[in-house]
Amino acid sequence: MDVTYRPIGVLHSPFRDLSEMPIQPTSRASAPGTAEIFAEYAEGLRDLDGFSHVILLYHLHRVRRAQLTVVPFLGSEPRGVFATRAPARPNPIGLSIVSLLRVEGRTLHLGNVDILDDTPLLDLKPYVPAFDRPAQARAGWLEQVQGNVGEVRSDDRFK
Amino acid sequence: MDVTYRPIGVLHSPFRDLSEMPIQPTSRASAPGTAEIFAEYAEGLRDLDGFSHVILLYHLHRVRRAQLTVVPFLGSEPRGVFATRAPARPNPIGLSIVSLLRVEGRTLHLGNVDILDDTPLLDLKPYVPAFDRPAQARAGWLEQVQGNVGEVRSDDRFK
């Protein structure tokens, strides 16, 4: 059973190329950007101001093929793709938790975007600490290297 | 531009009906469940053990129609759907951060599932504190009521 979605908007950022992009919103290279929600969905944005962060789900439109084993940006060993955040997934859905600076009509001003310009936005959810923040979390193989997220940049290995 | 995804597996839980379901993984009613990954994607599970939590993205297959304004389970006022976690979204993609108890072949044993039995799984990502945990977060209209997530159950209003 395939499922089909239609984008609700488009993401804009300074990143036009996969090289040298931030690999997560918490990268020091992440940058302000916007989400432009299409007019037909604007009504759904009511009450969004007041949330400091939103969860963006988007279609990783520049991924050409899935890989089940990847060498992720953090680390040099091959890993199962579902144990990584690499974009070359069977269903290339990206997830970023970014800060919401303000809502201006159908435009969301976002604080720390790690997403390519012109990426199709599929869904937008409020980040809610009581739902989304496990008290204690172990990060498996990433435990030792997750701290490098601030420095490491992407390249086009998953194009 | 529509995007089409094919499920990578299926989620199993004790919840066969929308009534009385937990509304989030942090509900006291959430329960152990499993994710069965289809054989063709099994290779991608390597290195997943070691992570205490995973992010599940799934297709909310029982939602029949999108609503841009909803009355969410928490609260009694109408809200814009993108300011809520209600399932009746334009693209009904569900997101839950659940605990990963163990990986057994292609079966993931999950600790606190808030998802209907037989839900199609679209993607599976490791939860990584350094990527996914904003230091300070305000939850807008949910600020006052998010603490009730433990008690409130769902009903079939979004069917």
User: What pLDDT digit, counting tens, does each position of B68-109 carry?
Assistant: 999 999 988 999 999 999 999 999 999 999 999 999 999 999
Q: What is the C-alpha radius of gyration for chain B, rounded to an integer number of angstroms?
A: 16
Q: What pLDDT sits at residue A147?
A: 84
Under the banding of pLDDT at 50, 70 and 90, the label for residue A153 is very high
Q: A111 to chain B: which residues are within 8 Å by CB? A: none
B120 vs A3, A147, A149: nearest CB: A3
DSSP letter string over A111-149? EEE-S-TTEEEEEEEE--HHHH--SS--BGGGGTTGGGG
B127 vs A51, A68, A134: nearest CB: A134
Distance (Å, rounded) from C-alpha A53 to C-alpha A128? 8
Average pLDDT, chain A: 95
Burial of A78 (0-12, 13-18, 19+ CB in 10 A): middle
**Which among B38, B30, B130 is positioned nearest to A140, based on CA atoms?**
B130
CB contact set of B118 (below 8 Å; sequence gap of 6+): B10, B11, B12, B61
Nearest CA in chain B to A52: B138
Distance (Å, rounded) from C-alpha B136 to C-alpha B117? 34
Q: With a CB-CB cutoff of 8 Å, which residues 27-86 of chain A face chain B?
A: 37, 41, 43-53, 55, 57, 59, 68-69, 79-85
| pLDDT per position as a tens digit, A14-65 | 999 988 899 999 999 889 999 999 999 999 999 999 999 999 999 999 998 9
Q: A122 with A37: CB under 8 angstroms? A: no
- The number of beta carbons lying within 10 Å of the beta carbon of residue A6 is 14
- Min Cα–Cα distance to chain B from A48, Å: 5
Q: What pLDDT sits at residue A122?
A: 98
Nearest CA in chain B to A81: B44
Chain-chain contact of A44 with B80 (C-beta, under 8 angstroms): yes
Nearest CA in chain A to B44: A80
Nearest CA in chain B to A24: B131
- Min Cα–Cα distance to chain A from B144, Å: 11
φ and ψ at residue B42, rounded to 5 degrees: -60, -35
Q: B129 to chain A: which residues are within 8 Å by CB? A: 137, 139, 146
Torsion-angle region of A105 (φ positive above 0: left; ψ -120 to 50: alpha; else: beta)? left
**Which among A74, A68, A140 is positioned nearest to B49, based on CA atoms?**
A140
Distance (Å, rounded) from C-alpha A25 to C-alpha A116? 12
B5 vs A68, A91, A143: nearest CB: A91
- Quote ipTM for the complex: 0.96
Q: B2 to chain A: which residues are within 8 Å by CB? A: 4-6
Question: Which residues in chain B show pLDDT less than 50?
Answer: none
Chain-chain contact of B44 with A133 (C-beta, under 8 angstroms): no
Beta pairing class for A93-104 and A79-80 = unpaired
